[in-house]
Each structure stands twice: as structure tokens, then as C-alpha cells.
């Protein structure tokens, strides 16, 4: 097969549940019986065995991404153990990108050295903000003053790429607060920065606070202003956008694993609640870590359900995802009855057209969802 293949490993553990997060994560108090951090690596290895049966050893993983949750809540040796299982039982392509997310307060020089020695090549630190009162609204527990140390330790350990993740639009975050965060992020001299607008997800603690009127909902104009500030600051620091919310120092610093998603390639998701897509079949695992472990302990697949991706869905997803990339969208993907709208989008300054590829302008990036609606 010609599509790239990646592996995503979901680690569902966190020390504290952040108020804005709706990911499938759990604190120790929430897990109950049947799922422990101590046994998690062994459990995931059992799913790796299932992947080997399905994939064989002729399609190695070109990227591996450990996300969560907080992967570095597990000992470095456990993360390395899972990576070794992926390498030994399915295979890693030469030069494979291997990323882990990390909170700055969950790493040490020793743990980072162990991860690097074990085969991790890239690390992404969840910084979110450099301003303490903004971090408190987000329920983030790390000390901003620790972030430069964590980045330096990662450099000293030999990680090829260091990334930082930011969030803008938190209730109570002023424009000056955001500028302070941008200056802090740029001063770290990362290879890559992700900056995401805060979304108030239903069912989260933050959504309940907004509903009660305790904090305001994010404002669209404020979000747009902060996006422009970020884009200007990152470009001035030598990082160029390659996806709507991601900037990299050069092509080598781009997150190849996330590009794999945006190009609708294949990936196998390991862990509770993880989603997978291989050869037009999409499936997802049971969500709770205990149910996930029980199924694998019994020799059963952890899959909860699946679907087959039809042509219309694939076209919609290609327009939605590829239009986010700086490399642009192949215009032959746009349905024929919507092709005439491209000229109007260009006249409005929302897109540029280079041959048969449509690329969002900065104004277009601010209105990306509206552009997509015009095209499908």
C-alpha cells in the first residue's frame, strides 16, 4: 500500500483533570479496579500483538506518537517498553519519527535521557501559557519557570525536535498576557510550536463554569486577534506555518505524525478509546481503561465498533483536512458543482490558487471553516 502508516499510543493517565479537557483521561482516583499504571505497558503490548496479526511485518510504522493524558506519568522504562514492542513485533521504518507529549513538571534529566536512549526522537511540551493566572483557569499545575529547564534537559538528552503547545483565548487572558506567552515560547527557541484556540467542550468543568456565568466564553474577535499576533511572532522568530495551528522552523521540524492524519493516511491507535484508520476501515476501542484491559487479558480485541469510509465521506474529509495545510488542497477533489466558488474565495482574499492547488491566506485561515463550507 502507498499510504503512510503511523502508530498512536494513548496513555490515559493524568495527575489532575484540566477543566477544559474532554479527552479520555483519568486521575488515579477515577480509575477504580482493573486498570493501573503499573500494568499498562503490558496491556498495550497485547494490542500490539493483535496489530502484528493484522499488519504483518511488511508495513512498518513511519511515525509513532504517544499522547494522552500525560504519557510521562508512566515511567520512561514503560514508554520505551511499548516502543520496543512496536519496533520488534511490527517494525519501525528507517528514520521513523517517535514523539511523546509531556508536561514540564513530569520530566527529569534522567527520564528524558532514558526516553532518548530508548528511541524517542521528538518531544512536545504542554506549556499552554506563561501566565500563572491563565494556567489556574485551565487547571494546569506546572510552574512556568520550570519550562526552560525542561526544554534544556530535552536538548541535552539529544532529542532531534522539541515542540511546545500553547492555548489562547482562556477566560481572563488579556492580549498582553498572550503577548507574554508568545515571548516566552519564542525565547525557548523550539523547533516547532502548536497554538490552539480554546474550545469550550460540552461536559467539561470549564463548560459548566461558563454556563453558570463564572467566566466568559471565548470571543471570536479576541481569538482572531490573538491568532494574528501568534503568526506574526512565530514568523519573526523563523517559524513558518505549515498547518492552520502549527509552525515549524523547517520541513524537518514539522510533525510528520500529524501530517499523516491531515493527509488521511493510515494509523493504528493503541489504548482505551483510541481511534484507528487502515485501508478505509475506521474503528475505535472501548473507552475505559479497565474495560480495555479486561478485553485484552481475555484474549479479545478491544475494538468497540467500526465503520467503512465511503467516497463522499472521504472527499469531505480531504477538503476539510488538506485545506488546513500550507501545501494546500488539490482542486480536483472539490466537487464539480462547487468549483465556481473558488474564484469568489480568491477575489475575497481568502485563498490563493497555485496551479491546481488552493492555499488559505492568513485571512482565510481565520475563516477556515467558512471556506470549507463553500467547497463541499
Does this model's pTM top 0.85? My answer is yes
Q: Which three cell numbers stand for residue 133?
A: 493566572
Ranges of residues in the chain whose predicted pLDDT is under 70: 1, 28-30, 32-34
- Tell me what pLDDT residue 33 has: 59
Dihedrals φ, ψ of 125, to 5°? -90, 130
In DSSP terms, which residues pair with 330 in a beta bridge? 357
- The pLDDT score that the predictor gives to residue 16 is 82
Domain 5-262 has CATH 3.20.20.70: yes
- pLDDT, one tens digit per residue, over 297-312 is 999 999 999 999 999 9
Give the pLDDT of residue 73.
93
Per-residue buried b or exposed e for 317-347, using 16+ beta carbons within 10 Å of the residue's own CB: ebbbbbbbbeebbeeebbeeeeeeebeebee
Q: What are the residue ranges spanned by the domains of the chain?
A: 5-262, 311-375
Could you give phi then psi for residue 4, rounded to 5 degrees?
Answer: -70, 155
Residue 58, preceding peptide bond in cis (omega within 30° of 0):
no
The pLDDT, as a whole number, for residue 307 is: 97
Tell me which CATH code domain 311-375 carries. 1.10.10
β-strand pairing of 303-308 with 281-285: antiparallel
pLDDT digits (tens, 9 = 90+) for 207-233: 899 999 999 999 999 999 999 999 999
Whole-angstrom CA distances from 346 to 6, 192, 261, 333 are 35, 29, 27, 17
pLDDT recorded at residue 29: 60
pLDDT, position 371: 95
pLDDT of residue 28: 66
Measured in degrees and rounded to the nearest 5, phi and psi for residue 238 equal 90, 15
Environment class of 349 (CB within 10 Å of its CB; exposed 0-12, middle 13-18, buried 19+): exposed
Amino acid at each position: 500500500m502507498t499510504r503512510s502508516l503511523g502508530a498512536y499510543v494513548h496513555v490515559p493517565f493524568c495527575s489532575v483533570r484540566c477543566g477544559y479537557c474532554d479527552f479520555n483521561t483519568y486521575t488515579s482516583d477515577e480509575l477504580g479496579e482493573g486498570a493501573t499504571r503499573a500494568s499498562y505497558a503490558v496491556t498495550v503490548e497485547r494490542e500490539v500483538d493483535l496489530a502484528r496479526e493484522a499488519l504483518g511485518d511488511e508495513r512498518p510504522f513511519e511515525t509513532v506518537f504517544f499522547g494522552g493524558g500525560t504519557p510521562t506519568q508512566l515511567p520512561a522504562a514503560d514508554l520505551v517498553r511499548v516502543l520496543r514492542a512496536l519496533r520488534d513485533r511490527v517494525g519501525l521504518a528507517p528514520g521513523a519519527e517517535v514523539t511523546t507529549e509531556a508536561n514540564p513538571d513530569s520530566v527529569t534529566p534522567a527520564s528524558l535521557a532514558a526516553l532518548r536512549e530508548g528511541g524517542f526522537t521528538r518531544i512536545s511540551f504542554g506549556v499552554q501559557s506563561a501566565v500563572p493566572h491563565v494556567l489556574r483557569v485551565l487547571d494546569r499545575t506546572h510552574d512556568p519557570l520550570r519550562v526552560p529547564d525542561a526544554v534544556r534537559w530535552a536538548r541535552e538528552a539529544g532529542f532531534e525536535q522539541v515542540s511546545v503547545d500553547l492555548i489562547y483565548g482562556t477566560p481572563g487572558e488579556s492580549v498582553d498576557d498572550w503577548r507574554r506567552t508568545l515571548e516566552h515560547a519564542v525565547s525557548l527557541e523550539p523547533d516547532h510550536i502548536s497554538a490552539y484556540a480554546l474550545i469550550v467542550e460540552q461536559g467539561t468543568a470549564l463548560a459548566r463554569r461558563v454556563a453558570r456565568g463564572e467566566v466568559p466564553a471565548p470571543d471570536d474577535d479576541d481569538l482572531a486577534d490573538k491568532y494574528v499576533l501568534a503568526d506574526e511572532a512565530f514568523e519573526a522568530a523563523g517559524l513558518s506555518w505549515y498547518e492552520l495551528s502549527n509552525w515549524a522552523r523547517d520541513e524537518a521540524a514539522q510533525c510528520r505524525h500529524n501530517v499523516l492524519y491531515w493527509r488521511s493516511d493510515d494509523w493504528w491507535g493503541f489504548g482505551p478509546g483510541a481511534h484507528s484508520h487502515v485501508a478505509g476501515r475506521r474503528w475505535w476501542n472501548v473507552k475505559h481503561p479497565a474495560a480495555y484491559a479486561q478485553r485484552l487479558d481475555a484474549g479479545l480485541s478491544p475494538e468497540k465498533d467500526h465503520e467503512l469510509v465511503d467516497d463522499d465521506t472521504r472527499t469531505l474529509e480531504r477538503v476539510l483536512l488538506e485545506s488546513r495545510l500550507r501545501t494546500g488542497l488539490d482542486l480536483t477533489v472539490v466537487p464539480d458543482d462547487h468549483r465556481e466558488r473558488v474564484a469568489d474565495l480568491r477575489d475575497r482574499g481568502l485563498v490563493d490558487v497555485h496551479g491546481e492547488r488552493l492555499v488559505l491566506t492568513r485571512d482565510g485561515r481565520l475563516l477556515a471553516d467558512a471556506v470549507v463550507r463553500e467547497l463541499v
